[in-house]
Amino acid sequence: MSSLPAGAVSRVGGHWGPVHRRTLDTTVPTMAGLLFDPAVGHAYENFRVAAGDVDGAHMGPPFMDGDFYKWLEAATVAFGVTADAELGHLIEKAVDVITRAQRADGYLHTPTNISQRQSGTMNELDDRVSFETYNLGHLMTAGCVHHRVTGSRTLLDAGIRAADYLRRLVEDRTDLIARSAICPSHYMGVVELYRTTGDPGYLRLATDLLAIRERFVGGDDNQDRLPLREQRTVAGHAVRANYLYAGVADVVAETGDRDLLELLEHLWSDAVNTKIHLTGGCGALYDGASPDGAPEQSEITRVHQAYGRPYQLPNQTAHNESCAAIGMVLWSWRMLLVTGDGKYADLIERILHNSLLGSIGADAKSYFYTNPLRQARDLPYPLRRAGDTAINPVPDPPASDARLRQEWLSCFCCPPNIARTLAEMPYLAYATGDSTIWVHQFLDSDAELRLAEGRFTISQRTDYPVSGSIRITVGVSQPTPATLRIRMPGWAEEPKLTINGSTVDVIEAGYGVIERTWSDGDEVRLVIPMRVRKLTAHHLAEELTNQVALVRGPVVYCLESTDLPAGATIERVLVSRDAVPVEMALPEDWAELPALQLSGLLAPAQAPGALYSELATADPQPVELRLIPYAFWANRGPSEMSVWLRLAW
């Protein structure tokens, strides 16, 4: 199936309406303020220096060009909706300086371009972890999106020049480019160029780039310890893994390579069934070694923000970079388009509603880099959390618990990735095949779809996931045959699907299937019971055993200490297996989603400070608990928080 073209999805409302609107109206412009300000982001300034507009030096991490392109992609999508003149002006400024900074042969990586302009000391691809292919890949993707939205070829041509540069490297300096595929966004970028231009040379470039990976043997930190086709488990850096496999899935989508598809299905299942958090967070460990526990120690390499062992899912020290969850959306979306299997859309939904939405504040301009499932007081060691606390320690207590989202992160890869994903999120809701309309996500919106047989409009009305009621009205100018496939979530219990009141009972791979000649005004209704479920975890997930998490529909809940009585701490809370959660309105103005109120127990406080102490045996006391959607935590000041709660059987 294919994604919908730019402009095909409109009038986003319901639960996602305010989120989408805030992304366009607040996230994108405030981020521009940071990235265009030399005193803060220096991203735009780096291009100005590289273009020779001003004197100066490169500042910021080597991947900041790519992060600027991700903002540009988000801004372009936002401009396509709002037509905001000021934003349009910023986009033009960005495109102009990017094209002028780019070398005639297509190379563009501002640290090197600036060095070459000023002293000639730095050669391209000298440092394999300088993220050049990551940057160039995002340039290609931004160029394609910019062309689709605006019709302009300027940025697209810059992307084409970048791809042509890679082509020459593949032919002339194969080993150099083979070792430079760090955090590879360029496989996705090159395939997107193929789709945009129709030039099969770019698809060949993608397959060539994948084939030459084997010429470099590195470590699991960049998934190049083993040749791609020999990989059986996901390992190492979760962003890099998910970007790689998303790019491979793009190649599979265009080549139909069944061996690679089987490989990807296996790897995806390995990740989803054993290594990702309930919130959809990917990359559970801050740092590790891989292959972990290998008999030959010489084979072990250092990895960071790693997938870790199966079932190794710590809560408090969960890394879960926001970009890793987004990478999983990219990977799963491509798997979905190739296979039509609803399990991929189920995971996308889980990430969107939890990990992704939790990575941005209710103010739409503060961000998490890491996304733990638990936060506790008095952590005696630094973690690379929002604001890189290891590098820039937060102030002394009591503010030391204030590991909240931040507006500026010294490593700014996540915020523009969050921005572009939320800006483009409506396009995850639909897709088309030759004669098939796919509804993947429940999103109050209108969509225009063109099939081989004719044009359709889809009006989806829903407050999902506030309720599980979805109403879709189909619009056609004349009776037209087509199949509509609508997702029946894998977690849903007895969802009811009807067409004009008649029950639909054909379900294939997680989709209700309605094949008919459609008349204007035909109405599809899906009703999904939204019972609160209490989930437990696999017995090998040792930090999760004998605990319970509450989930309502796709939304994972958490307990924040803000909602506990004074003096109560999060680890003392116990939830009975038969506690009945009651839905109540959230007083905060975040969303229409309910809070969950239930009776719990508060265990006696244990002796503080000591590593081990004798069990305090006083009776637990009743306590009323209020759980909020995980995505909304850390919006009310510093707090302790936990998704998983101790189970009092």
- As measured in angstroms, the least distance from the Cβ of 361 to Zn ion is 16
- As measured in angstroms, the least distance from the Cβ of 413 to Zn ion is 3
User: Rounded distance, CA 521 to CA 472, Å?
Assistant: 9
- As measured in angstroms, the least distance from the Cβ of 359 to Zn ion is 9
User: Rounded distance, CA 472 to CA 492, Å?
Assistant: 19
- As measured in angstroms, the least distance from the Cβ of 324 to Zn ion is 8
Residues contacting 37, CB < 8 A, separation 6+? none
Q: Which of 479, 489, 482 is nearest to 533 (CA)?
A: 489
- As measured in angstroms, the least distance from the Cβ of 125 to Zn ion is 22
Q: Are 307 and 270 in contact (CB under 8 A)?
A: no
Q: Which of 137, 132, 41 is nearest to 90 (CA)?
A: 41
Closer CB to Zn ion, residue 49 or residue 183? Answer: 183
- As measured in angstroms, the least distance from the Cβ of 137 to Zn ion is 15
Residues pairing with 77 in the sheet: none
Q: What is the DSSP code string of 488-514?
A: --TT-SS-EEEETTEE---EETTEEEE
Using DSSP's 3-state secondary structure scheme, residue 186 falls into helix
Q: Interface with Zn ion by CB under 5 A: which range of 256-264, 289-297, 320-328, 488-496?
A: 320-328
Closer CB to Zn ion, residue 360 or residue 413? Answer: 413
Kindly write out the interface string for residues 433-472 of this chain, putting x where it contacts Zn ion by CB under 5 A and - elsewhere. Answer: ----------------------------------------
Q: Interface with Zn ion by CB under 5 A: which range of 24-32, 240-248, 322-330, 339-347?
A: 322-330
- As measured in angstroms, the least distance from the Cβ of 494 to Zn ion is 39
Q: How many CA atoms lie within 13 A of 554 on its CB side?
A: 27
Pairing status of strand 555-560 against strand 641-642: antiparallel
- As measured in angstroms, the least distance from the Cβ of 323 to Zn ion is 3
Contact positions with Zn ion (CB under 5 A) in 124-183 = none
- With CB under 5 A as the contact rule, the residue among 323, 347, 549, 641 that binds Zn ion is 323
Contact positions with Zn ion (CB under 5 A) in 225-254 = none
Contact positions with Zn ion (CB under 5 A) in 363-422 = 413-414
Pairing status of strand 301-306 against strand 285-290: antiparallel
- As measured in angstroms, the least distance from the Cβ of 416 to Zn ion is 9
- As measured in angstroms, the least distance from the Cβ of 240 to Zn ion is 11
Closer CB to Zn ion, residue 263 or residue 306? Answer: 306
Let me know how long the chain is: 649
- As measured in angstroms, the least distance from the Cβ of 283 to Zn ion is 10
Closer CB to Zn ion, residue 370 or residue 483? Answer: 370
Using DSSP's 3-state secondary structure scheme, residue 622 falls into strand
- As measured in angstroms, the least distance from the Cβ of 417 to Zn ion is 6
Closer CB to Zn ion, residue 4 or residue 323? Answer: 323
The closest residue (CB) to Zn ion is 323
Structure token digits, residue 596: 């969950």
Compute the Cα dihedral for 424, 16, 71, 166 and give only its sign: negative
Distance separating the N- and C-terminal Cα atoms of the chain: 47
Closer CB to Zn ion, residue 205 or residue 414? Answer: 414
Closer CB to Zn ion, residue 108 or residue 414? Answer: 414
Closer CB to Zn ion, residue 416 or residue 600? Answer: 416
Closer CB to Zn ion, residue 271 or residue 414? Answer: 414
User: Rounded distance, CA 296 to CA 299, Å?
Assistant: 6
How many chain residues bind Zn ion (CB under 5 A)?
A: 3
User: Rounded distance, CA 185 to CA 240, Å?
Assistant: 9
- As measured in angstroms, the least distance from the Cβ of 530 to Zn ion is 32
Closer CB to Zn ion, residue 343 or residue 403? Answer: 403
Closer CB to Zn ion, residue 91 or residue 414? Answer: 414
Amino acid at 493: E
629 φ/ψ angles, rounded to the nearest 5 degrees? -55, 135
Pairing status of strand 582-585 against strand 573-576: unpaired
Work out whether 328 is an interface residue with Zn ion (CB under 5 A): no
Q: Which of 150, 164, 25 is nearest to 94 (CA)?
A: 150
User: Rounded distance, CA 303 to CA 301, Å?
Assistant: 6
Structure token digits, residue 550: 């509450």
User: Rounded distance, CA 527 to CA 514, Å?
Assistant: 16
- As measured in angstroms, the least distance from the Cβ of 247 to Zn ion is 17
Q: CA geometry: angle at 602 spanning 601 and 605, to 5°?
A: 155
Compute the Cα dihedral for 325, 331, 333, 335 and give only its sign: negative
Helix (H) or strand (E) segment spanning residue 454? strand 454-462
Q: Interface with Zn ion by CB under 5 A: which range of 98-106, 122-130, 318-326, 394-402?
A: 318-326
Closer CB to Zn ion, residue 75 or residue 439? Answer: 75
Residues contacting 256, CB < 8 A, separation 6+? none
User: Rounded distance, CA 290 to CA 274, Å?
Assistant: 16
Q: What's the gap between Cα 613 and its chain centre?
A: 42
Query: Using CB under 5 A as the criterion, which residues of the chain lie in contact with Zn ion when the complex forms?
Result: 323, 413-414
